[in-house]
Amino acid sequence: MAEITYLQAITEALREEMQRDEKVFLLGEDIGIYGGAFKVTKGLYEEFGQARVMDTPISESAIIGVAVGAALVGMRPVAEMQFADFITVGFSQLVTNAATMHYRYGIPVPIVVRAPSGGGIHGGAFHSKNPEAWFVHQPGLKVVAPSTPADAKGLLKAAIRDNNPVLYFENKFLYRRIKEKLPEGDDVVVPIGKARLVKPGRHVSLITYGSMVHACLQAAEILNEQDQLDVEILDLRTLQPLDKEAVLSTVERTSRVVIVHEANLTAGIGAEVAALISDNGFEMLDAPIKRVAALDTPTPYAPVLEEYFMPNPEKIIVAVRQVIHF
């Protein structure tokens, strides 16, 4: 089987789920004839028609609201936010309506909201946001963030089949930059709520997700060469519900932790993971927990400033050495 990109894996998942279940349909801005801003939905309009690949007005609130209504009458909509930044326009539809519907009425809301997110593409403050922490805070939503083509496909399949609203954060920087061969079989589903041990290690744990999995791999290689450190890497994959057992298990194995995410530092996922470890695994730690994340500013447009703003392997290496030499 040939290697496919992260973007192609998402397209494959959409196509296969639409073939499998006629209740699955897509809606979003320019996803039809144009094939989407990033060409994720290219070819699906021709294959499934206008009734199942629907172009919408530029109104994220309407897109998510229509998706919620369709789900309530038995459909399984997949709504695309052209950029994750603009999900704020539909925020109330997600956190006030979709997230609480089952709690209030016992009615499932099987919607997926695809949110192309992340920096490194020189998109500036309006096209680079990582807003996943907002939604992890809201009960009733599930949140996933794949880092590889295999997980991008498998988690999207799981999200579409889930009866809860799922936010699917796909990283734009990864779209065409990483490739891999997918597992054998056309219907490989990655379960929501299960982290993945990317690399076992003995000396320090890097807990991460999304694009930063690849930055952590680069850092681990350098640390092995220069410091003879055996670094463990845990990819959370699902941010809500969090795989608490996997988090505490990696802490138990290494006793030192660096948490890495691309989103801004303050009140990010790293803070929740650090609190989890402090509450349930403090006695296993041999050093304070360190976090590596983006600065608490909007994403700069200028490449040199964006590079300074974002986490990277060099910053991860500095944090690892701090916890090792504590």
CATH number, domain at 306? 3.40.50.920
Q: Are 26 and 78 in contact (CB under 8 A)?
A: yes
Q: What is the mean pLDDT of residues 240-247?
A: 98
Looking at the fold, whether 205 and 303 belong to one and the same domain comes out as: yes
Which residue, 180, 209, 234, sits at the end of a domain?
180
Please give the model's pTM, rounded to 2 decimal places. Answer: 0.97
Note whether residue 190 is domain-resident.
no
The residue type of 49 is G
What is the per-residue pLDDT for 297? 97
Residue-wise pLDDT tens digits, 103-160: 999 999 999 999 999 999 999 999 999 999 999 999 999 999 999 999 999 999 999 9
Note whether residue 191 is domain-resident.
no
In this structure, the strands spanning 290-294 and 257-264 are parallel
Q: What is the mean pLDDT of residues 69-79?
A: 98
Note whether residue 217 is domain-resident.
yes
Looking at the fold, whether 157 and 202 belong to one and the same domain comes out as: no
2: pLDDT strictly greater than 90: no
Positions marked catalytic: 127
Q: Helix, strand, coil: what percent of the chain each, to 5?
A: 45, 20, 40
Taking Cα atoms as reference points, which of 78, 62, 144 lies closest to residue 110? 78
Q: What is the mean pLDDT of residues 38-64?
A: 97
Does an H or E element contain 143, and which? strand 142-144
Looking at the fold, whether 26 and 163 belong to one and the same domain comes out as: yes
Which residue, 180, 205, 230, sits at the end of a domain?
180
Q: Are 303 and 122 in contact (CB under 8 A)?
A: yes
Residue-wise pLDDT tens digits, 180-230: 998 777 688 999 999 999 999 999 999 999 999 999 999 999 999 999 999
Note whether residue 189 is domain-resident.
no
For tokens 């992260």, the residue is 6
1: pLDDT strictly greater than 70: no
What is the per-residue pLDDT for 276? 98
Can you say whether the dihedral through the CA atoms of 298, 146, 243, 158 is positive or negative? Answer: positive
Number of domains forming the structure of the chain: 2
Looking at the fold, whether 212 and 159 belong to one and the same domain comes out as: no
Which residue, 126, 147, 180, sits at the end of a domain?
180
| The pair of three-digit structure tokens given for residue 2, joined into one six-digit string | 């040939």
Q: What residues contact residue 85 under an 8 Å CB cut-off, 6+ apart? A: 126, 127, 128, 129, 131
Looking at the fold, whether 102 and 207 belong to one and the same domain comes out as: no
User: What's the domain range around 167?
Assistant: 4-180
Looking at the fold, whether 303 and 223 belong to one and the same domain comes out as: yes
Q: What is the mean pLDDT of residues 165-186?
A: 92
In this structure, the strands spanning 238-240 and 142-144 are antiparallel
Note whether residue 155 is domain-resident.
yes
92 phi, psi to nearest 5 deg = -65, -35
Looking at the fold, whether 119 and 223 belong to one and the same domain comes out as: no
> What is d(CA 265, CA 18) in angstroms, rounded to the nearest whole number?
38
Note whether residue 186 is domain-resident.
no
CATH of the domain at 71: 3.40.50.970
Note whether residue 272 is domain-resident.
yes
Looking at the fold, whether 237 and 134 belong to one and the same domain comes out as: no
Check whether the bond before 183 is cis (ω within 30° of 0). no
What is the per-residue pLDDT for 187? 83
What is the per-residue pLDDT for 184? 76
What is the per-residue pLDDT for 274? 98
Looking at the fold, whether 211 and 268 belong to one and the same domain comes out as: yes
> What is d(CA 266, CA 190) in angstroms, rounded to the nearest whole number?
30
From residue 170, alpha-carbon distances to 37, 204, 285, 299 in Å are 14, 27, 32, 18
In this structure, the strands spanning 179-180 and 142-144 are unpaired
Looking at the fold, whether 201 and 62 belong to one and the same domain comes out as: no
Cβ atoms within 10 Å, residue 50: 10
Looking at the fold, whether 127 and 249 belong to one and the same domain comes out as: no
Residue-wise pLDDT tens digits, 255-306: 999 999 999 999 999 999 999 999 999 999 999 999 999 999 999 999 999 9
Terminal CA-to-CA distance of the chain, rounded, Å? 46
Looking at the fold, whether 225 and 275 belong to one and the same domain comes out as: yes
The residue type of 262 is E
Q: What is the mean pLDDT of residues 18-31?
A: 98
Note whether residue 130 is domain-resident.
yes
